[in-house]
Structure formats: C-alpha cells, structure tokens
Amino acid sequence: MVSRVHGRSVLRIEKLRLAVSGRHLFGTLSCELRSGESAVLCGPSGTGKTTLLNCIMGLTTPDDGAIYVAGENILEMPKRRLAEHRRTYIGMVFQFGELLPELSPVENVAIAALLAGQPRRKAYQDAEALLGDLGVPVSGTPTGLLSGGERQRTAVARALITEPVLLLADEPTGALDREARESVADLLFTLPRVRDCALLVVTHDEAVAGRADRRFDLRGGDLAETRA
C-alpha cells in the first residue's frame, strides 16, 4: 500500500472478508487512506462497492478482518459506541442526497449538527456558512425545489457540518447533468485539502474518477490500486 499524501491514517482496512448468499464478495481486501487524501472506488456493478461503504460505516458486518476509522477498529465496538464513533468521524453523501424535501437547505444541514449535539445558534450559523461556501441559496426555498446539483451540494454540506475526518460518497454525481456533475466533483475533491479529511468516492464516472489522488478497482473480491 503506497500513499502519496502524508497525513494521519484515517481509514485502514485489513483483510476484509465477506460472503453474501454463498458468494464471496470480498476475499481478503485491504487498503489505507490518510487525511488530505482523496480516492475513488470503481468497478463493475454488483462487485460490492456500496457494500464496502456500508462496512466502513458499520452498517454491514463482514465475516472477518478489521476496519480502522480514526485509529479504532469499528468492528470491535459495541453498537452504541459505534454509533457515536460514526457520528463523530464519518460523513456520508448518498447517491440521491436523501434530504427531507419539505425542509429548507439550511434546516437540512443544521439538523445533522443539532442531532450531533451542537448548540442551535452554532448549528444554523455553520449550516449557512457551509451552504454559502458551496454555492447553495440559503433563502427559505424548500429543498425539494432546488436543482439536482444544489441538492447534492446540500447533501455534501450536511455530511461536512460535523467536521468528519472521513467523508464517504456513493455515486454523488450519478443523477446529475454534466454541468452539475462538474461543480459537485470540483467541490468534493477540494475538500480533503481544505478540510484535512480523507475522501472515498464510489463512482462509475471516469471524469470524476480522474480527479482523485488514488484509484481503487474492486474486482474479484479484492482492491487493486490502478493509479498512484
């Protein structure tokens, strides 16, 4: 495992094994990501990219191996501790944003901070500042009326508001047009350096993949780093 960017280790996967319905999804899968580093996870459909993200979030339990996030093996954590760890260190951007359309963008972002225990004033201020930085209108427009790109940037803001050290994104540009895709990808791949976090993006889009520091291809149950 080689790393070009030198930061602290944020994500380390060791010999991960998982079989689903008798099929070996992961053989002995390993990789490491450091802060300030961005990586893309590519591979044909059905190879287990989203499942790997679920494992990193602790939503799916592998058969064997270890996953260190921020230096601690999440597979050994009790449920409550895992939840707390995820809330503190991991941010996630889903393919379709998974925002609440009836709430305003500020509210969608702020609720993540509020649920993480931040005071109201700080949560709203941070949400407005983040959305402003990311170019999302912070007026009272309901989220449901935003454009696709704006919605995805709002989802990114929600993932960032708790200042996670590891940011995961599952096909964040999959449902966007070219212009919106460019803008969201630009935003995402500047984050590791600006915010000193690690970014792991699942994508099929070669143009998006080309922006990452590193590229992993998931094939035959193992990760192959194809570009350093």
Partner 1 sequence: MSPLWRQLLRIGFAAGRGAPGSRIRFAGLLLASAVLTTTMLAGLVVVATYDGRAQRDAARGPVPAGDGVRAPAAWLNINRDAVGTVPHSVIHVEPLAESIDPPPGLPRWPERGEVFLSPALLEAGSSERILHRYGTFAGLIGDAGLSSPGERLAYVRPDVDGGYEGWRGIKRFGGVDTMLIGDSRDVAPIGQFLTMLAATLGVAAAVLLVVAVRSGSAARDRRTELLAALGASWRHRALLNVGEGVVPALAGAVIGLTPYLVTLITDVRLPGPGFVIDSDDTRAWLWAVPPTVAGSVVFVLLAIVTLHRVDAAGRSGRPRTFAGRVPRWRLVAGVAGLVGVVITPYLPRMFGFLAYLGGTAVLWAALPSASAIVIQRFGGAMAARAAKAGYVAMLIAGRWTAARPGIVVRLTGVIVIGIGIVVQAQVWTSRLGDSSERALEFQRSLQDSVLVVSSPYLDRESIESFAGDLPVGSALLGVVAPEDETQPRRLWGSCAALDGLVADCAGNRVSLRDGDIRAQTLFGQFRRSGDDVHVRLTNERSAWPRVQELVVVSAVGTGGLAAHVNEEAHRAFAMAELNRPGDSWAQGSNRLTTISAWVVFLVTIVLSVLLTAMGFSSAAEFLTFTAALAPLTVLTERRRFVFGVAAWNLVVPCLIAVSAGVAIAAWQGNFFVAMSRSGELSWSLLVNVAVTAAVFSIAIGVAGGANAVRGAARWRPVAD
Residue 83 contacts partner 1 per CB under 8 A: yes
Residue 181 contacts partner 1 per CB under 8 A: no
Residue 77 contacts partner 1 per CB under 8 A: no
Contact pattern for partner 1 over residues 102 through 131, marking x by CB under 8 A: xx---x---xx-xxx--xxx-xx-------
Q: Which of these segments, 4-12, 23-31, 53-61, 67-75, binds partner 1 (CB under 8 A)?
A: 53-61
Residue 96 contacts partner 1 per CB under 8 A: yes
**SS3 of the chain:** CCCCCCCCEEEEEEEEEEEECCEEEEEEEEEEEECCCEEEEECCCCCCHHHHHHHHHCCCCCCEEEEEECCEEHHHCCHHHHHHHHHHHEEEECCCCCCCCCCCHHHHHHHHHHHCCCCHHHHHHHHHHHHHHHCCCCCCCCHHHCCHHHHHHHHHHHHHCCCCCEEEEECCCCCCCHHHHHHHHHHHHHHHHHHCCEEEEECCCHHHHCCCCEEEEEECCEEEEEEC
On whether the CB atoms of residues 17 and 66 are closer than 8 A, the answer is no
Sign of the torsion angle spanned by Cα atoms 60, 62, 67, 72: positive
- Of the residues 9, 30, 50, 125, which one makes contact with partner 1 according to CB under 8 A: 50
* Distance in Å, CB of 163 to partner 1, minimum: 14
Nearer to partner 1, 92 or 223 (CB): 92
- Of the residues 2, 4, 45, 78, which one makes contact with partner 1 according to CB under 8 A: 45
Residue 170 contacts partner 1 per CB under 8 A: yes
Residue 88 contacts partner 1 per CB under 8 A: no
Residue 217 contacts partner 1 per CB under 8 A: no
On whether the CB atoms of residues 227 and 39 are closer than 8 A, the answer is no
Residue 183 contacts partner 1 per CB under 8 A: no
- Of the residues 76, 98, 206, 225, which one makes contact with partner 1 according to CB under 8 A: 98
Nearer to partner 1, 31 or 109 (CB): 109
Nearer to partner 1, 150 or 213 (CB): 150
Q: What Rg, from alpha-carbon coordinates, does the chain have?
A: 17
* Distance in Å, CB of 4 to partner 1, minimum: 28
Residues 203, 205, 211, 214, Cα dihedral to 10°: 50
Residues binding partner 1 (CB under 8 A): 45-46, 48-51, 53-54, 57, 59-60, 83-84, 86-87, 92, 94-96, 98, 100-103, 107, 111-112, 114-116, 119-121, 123-124, 142, 144-145, 170-171, 174
